[in-house]
Amino acid sequence: MQKGLFITFEGADGCGKTTQLNLLAQYLEQNGYDVIKTREPGAKGLGEKFREILLNYDGDVSDRCESFLFLADRAQHVDMIIKPAVEKGKIVLCDRHTDSTLAYQGYGRGLDLKQINMLNNIATDGLKPDMTFVFDVDIETSNKRVGKEKDRMESAGDDFFTKVRNGYLQIAKMEPNRIKVIDSTRSIDEVFEDVKMYIKNALK
Ligand code: TYD
């Protein structure tokens, strides 16, 4: 059986990645592909519990604790959902994955990037996305899209957003083959044209 594809969708809050993930899932399904949509934190099952703590807990959370919770969620997700699906030949579209921890906990919170890389590697058991989209937006666009109702992570402020955004751009420079940066201040349709172009190449 042919091995599937593992594609991750990344970017700072309000970048529009979930909309693009849904559009791509629809497009691929219409073209006969077997697609799974999933997300971090908070895939089906135990992931939902991690999500609840990570996004809604209103007490203090230490930066290292936060990192380990995202990583624990990831380990469960890779073992129970992502790996089995890729092995069955499915296309897995995942809303956030390892690069989120690098961008948010590494570049954003200031934790050691090498250590996060190592911990990510343990959490994924070495599995790497075949392709990653980074949807890049500026702070004004993000604020407009996120609106007033913010979760724990979205409430971290404009400086934090800028660190995360620049973090993503740095990460993308280090792995240009895997990571495609897409200017996402444009319309949904324009952004999706880019996504399709990259996917068509990957599926050739
Ligand atoms: P979510 O509601 O899924 O937001 P979005 O639609 O922007 O993906 O919330 C996920 C939040 O968790 C988001 O602010 C990014 C953050 N996050 C990290 O800080 N580290 C991680 O490793 C992951 C997976 C997410």
CA distances from 7 to 98, 151, 198 (A): 12, 25, 11
Q: Whose CA is nearest to atom 11 of ligand 1?
A: 153
Element (H, E) at 131: strand 131-136
Collect contacts of 88-91 with beta carbons under 8 A, ≥24 apart. 88/1, 88/4, 88/34, 89/1, 89/2, 89/3, 89/4, 89/34, 90/4, 90/34, 90/35, 90/36, 91/4, 91/5, 91/7, 91/28, 91/33, 91/34, 91/35, 91/36
Q: Please name the residues in contact with 4: beta carbons below 8 A apart, sequence gap of 6 or more.
A: 34, 85, 86, 87, 88, 89, 90, 91, 92
pTM exceeds 0.75 for this model: yes
CATH assignment of 5-203, among 1.20.120.530, 3.50.50.60, 3.40.50.300, 3.40.50.2300 = 3.40.50.300
Q: Two tokens at 138?
A: 């500026």
Residue 124 Cβ inside 6 Å of ligand 1? The answer reads no
Is 13 near ligand 1, meaning CB less than 6 Å away? yes
Distance (angstroms) between ligand 1 centre and the Cα of 100 equals: 7
Considering the chain, what percentage of its residues have pLDDT values greater than 90? 90
pLDDT in tens, 55-107: 999 999 999 999 999 999 999 999 999 999 999 999 999 999 999 999 999 99
Give me the tens of pLDDT residue by residue for the chain, a chain 204 residues long: 577 999 999 999 999 999 999 999 999 999 999 999 999 999 999 999 999 999 999 999 999 999 999 999 999 999 999 999 999 999 999 999 999 999 999 999 999 999 999 999 999 999 999 999 999 999 999 988 888 888 877 888 889 999 999 999 999 999 999 999 999 999 999 999 999 999 999 998
User: For ligand 1, what atom is nearest to the CA of residue 14?
Assistant: 7
Which pLDDT score, from 0 to 100, does residue 3 have?
79
Per-residue model confidence (pLDDT) at position 155: 81
Count the alpha carbons within 13 Å of 77 in the hemisphere toward its beta carbon. 32
Is residue 100 within 6 Å of ligand 1 at its C-beta?
yes
The verdict on the CB of residue 104 being under 6 Å from ligand 1 is yes
Q: 70 CB less than 6 Å from ligand 1? A: yes
Domain regions of the chain by residue span: 5-203
